[in-house]
Amino acid sequence: MGPAQTRLGTGRLPVEATSFVDRRLEVAEVKRLLAAARLVTLTGVGGVGKTRLALRVARELRRAFTDGVRWIELIQVTDGSLLDSTIAAGIGPADQGVREPLAALAERVRDRALLLVLDNCEHLLDGCAGTVGTILRESAGLRVLCTSRQPLGIVGEHVWTVPSMQGPEPDEPLGAAADARYPALALFLERAVAASPGFAVTADNERAVVEICRRLDGLPLAIELAAARLRTLSPDQLAAGLRDRLNLLATRHAVPARHRTMESAFSWSYTLCTPAERDLWASVSVFADSFDLAAAERVCAGDHLLGALSGLVDKSVLVLDRATMRYRLLEPVRQFGCGRLRAAGRDRVLALRSAHRDWYLALAERFAAEWFGPCELEWIERPGRSRPASGSRARCRRSGGPAARCPRAGTGWSARSRPAGPHGGNGCARWTRTGGSSGPRAGCRPRSSPPANAR
């Protein structure tokens, strides 16, 4: 660290909304890898637990780095040209000047002892590869942990595939404390009790529970979706439903078993939803990040919206952050919804995209009108929460619609300081006027610089 540099602090990490199960060996292994390699990429199918594992590792390593840990959620960055500025903003506020975003980012990490976690790189592989390669050369104390379905493919990258959770063998008698031996079972039981208080493994349901864990291949997301079904189904019905669904899929698709399991878990959950819930699952997939009730009402207007929203939360399709009352689809679940939306036809897709664009356009216009005034604090406290996916400005311009209005869609939607987590804010954001451009520019300087100790 240079003599003039201020320490960055430990950094904020997303709050874990649900309990974390096991992964002791995996956490230890990833920490060991990070001690040896400067870039570690956790790969694996969607829903296997890459993000949760990375979060655990980040939490445990927080104090091992002088400048702490930074968690950068990339799922909402759909426009690759925003990658560098997003990462830079996530590291901490600093003067942007007029430099290229990559140069500004490189400067920000220079000589720092920092763990940077890039969550969900798969849709920006080339960009991440270029950026990570560059910044690793800027600081010997920098370590990067990525989660991605695919490796970045750069020299020095250490790729580690996140394993699914171990479960009991078919027909294995569980005996006492089986959940301590089998993380897949432990996760299923934790979520089963949450869905159906008082649920326990008994002599009557033991075989079904073992079969469920086995059929779900130890994939945490599939386990959670299935366990949520125990609100309305018995373990036997659940096991039978999975059996039928998997057999059906197995004969139809020549796809890897893991993907089949996920697809089957989703499609089965989907068929068990009411028509209004199914419709909403597809519709809310237009939100790349979290959204609130007002956004859902405006963008996905439907007759039974409230009921469908809470139905999807009950079924673990939507995750509700009760602190902010914002909803979110986990990425694999969103992808499934996108597929259903596409299947509903081009008109439906265009109608939703337009509604999505108009909602954020209206929000951006309100921001432009209100932020410099009594509402400033309220706006500052919304960073990242009510922000559109950063690619939606570009999409807005591409997807037709009133072109003259589009440039204003970017007004104000670039935070100098990104929130620490996927849907939380760090409370020290300052917004810049970008006028629809793709990254932070100096067009409208913040009124005050953040205090040095906030850096």
What residue ranges bind ligand ADP (CB under 6 A)?
18, 20-23, 44, 46-52, 147, 187, 220-221, 224, 330-332
Work out how close the CB of 219 gets to ligand ADP at its nearest, in angstroms, rounded to a whole number: 8
Beta pairing, strands 39-43 & 142-147: parallel
Q: Considering the complex, state which of residue 223 and residue 409 has its C-beta at the smaller distance from Mg ion.
A: 223
271 binds, among ligand ADP, Mg ion, none (CB under 5 to 8 A by kind): none
- Contacting positions for Mg ion (CB under 5 A): 50-51
41 binds, among ligand ADP, Mg ion, none (CB under 5 to 8 A by kind): none
Residue 72 bridge partners (DSSP): 118
Where do runs of H (alpha helix) occur along 9-145?
A: 24-36, 50-61, 83-91, 101-109, 125-136
Work out how close the CB of 359 gets to Mg ion at its nearest, in angstroms, rounded to a whole number: 26
Question: Residue 107 CA to chain centroid, in angstroms?
Answer: 27
Work out how close the CB of 382 gets to ligand ADP at its nearest, in angstroms, rounded to a whole number: 24
93 binds, among ligand ADP, Mg ion, none (CB under 5 to 8 A by kind): none
Q: What whole-number distance in Å separates Cα of residue 352 and Cα of residue 357?
A: 8
Candidates 268, 176, 173, 191; CA nearest to 230 is 191
Work out how close the CB of 454 gets to ligand ADP at its nearest, in angstroms, rounded to a whole number: 30
370 binds, among ligand ADP, Mg ion, none (CB under 5 to 8 A by kind): none
Work out how close the CB of 228 gets to ligand ADP at its nearest, in angstroms, rounded to a whole number: 11
436 binds, among Mg ion, ligand ADP, none (CB under 5 to 8 A by kind): none
Work out how close the CB of 103 gets to ligand ADP at its nearest, in angstroms, rounded to a whole number: 31
Location of structure tokens 């990462």: 87
- 3-state DSSP call for residue 414? strand
111 binds, among ligand ADP, Mg ion, none (CB under 5 to 8 A by kind): none
Work out how close the CB of 41 gets to Mg ion at its nearest, in angstroms, rounded to a whole number: 12
Token representation of residue 255: 């796809």
Q: Considering the complex, state which of residue 47 and residue 241 has its C-beta at the smaller distance from ligand ADP.
A: 47
Q: Considering the complex, state which of residue 329 and residue 394 has its C-beta at the smaller distance from ligand ADP.
A: 329
Name the closest residue to Mg ion (Cβ): 51
Q: Considering the complex, state which of residue 53 and residue 83 has its C-beta at the smaller distance from Mg ion.
A: 53
Give one DSSP letter per residue of 121-169, joined into a string: -GGGHHHHHHHHHHHHTT-TTEEEEEE-SS----TTEEEEEPPPPP-PP
Work out how close the CB of 407 gets to Mg ion at its nearest, in angstroms, rounded to a whole number: 33
Q: What whole-number distance in Å separates Cα of residue 284 and Cα of residue 287?
A: 6
Q: Considering the complex, state which of residue 67 and residue 190 has its C-beta at the smaller distance from ligand ADP.
A: 190
Q: Considering the complex, state which of residue 54 and residue 364 has its C-beta at the smaller distance from Mg ion.
A: 54
Give one DSSP letter per residue of 342-410, joined into a string: HHT-HHHHHHHHHHHHHHHHHHHHHHHHHTTTTTHHHHHT-TTTSPPPTTHHHHHHHT-S-GGGGGGGG
Q: What whole-number distance in Å separates Cα of residue 133 and Cα of residue 109?
A: 13
Q: What whole-number distance in Å separates Cα of residue 345 and Cα of residue 205?
A: 42
* Burial grade of 240 (CB within 10 A; 0-12, 13-18, 19 or more): middle
217 binds, among ligand ADP, Mg ion, none (CB under 5 to 8 A by kind): none
Q: What whole-number distance in Å separates Cα of residue 409 and Cα of residue 395?
A: 11
Work out how close the CB of 323 gets to ligand ADP at its nearest, in angstroms, rounded to a whole number: 16
Helix (H) or strand (E) holding 42, with range, is strand 39-43
Q: Considering the complex, state which of residue 44 and residue 425 has its C-beta at the smaller distance from ligand ADP.
A: 44
23 binds, among Mg ion, ligand ADP, none (CB under 5 to 8 A by kind): ligand ADP
Q: Considering the complex, state which of residue 52 and residue 108 has its C-beta at the smaller distance from ligand ADP.
A: 52
90 binds, among Mg ion, ligand ADP, none (CB under 5 to 8 A by kind): none
Q: What whole-number distance in Å separates Cα of residue 246 and Cα of residue 214?
A: 12
The answer to whether 77 and 391 are in contact (CB under 8 A) is yes
Work out how close the CB of 95 gets to ligand ADP at its nearest, in angstroms, rounded to a whole number: 34
Q: Considering the complex, state which of residue 67 and residue 119 has its C-beta at the smaller distance from ligand ADP.
A: 119
47 binds, among ligand ADP, Mg ion, none (CB under 5 to 8 A by kind): ligand ADP
Q: Which distant-in-sequence residues (6+ apart) come within 8 Å of 8 by Cβ?
A: 67, 68, 70, 91, 92, 112, 114, 455
C-alpha dihedral over 273, 278, 280, 285, to 10 degrees? 120
Q: Considering the complex, state which of residue 258 and residue 357 has its C-beta at the smaller distance from ligand ADP.
A: 258
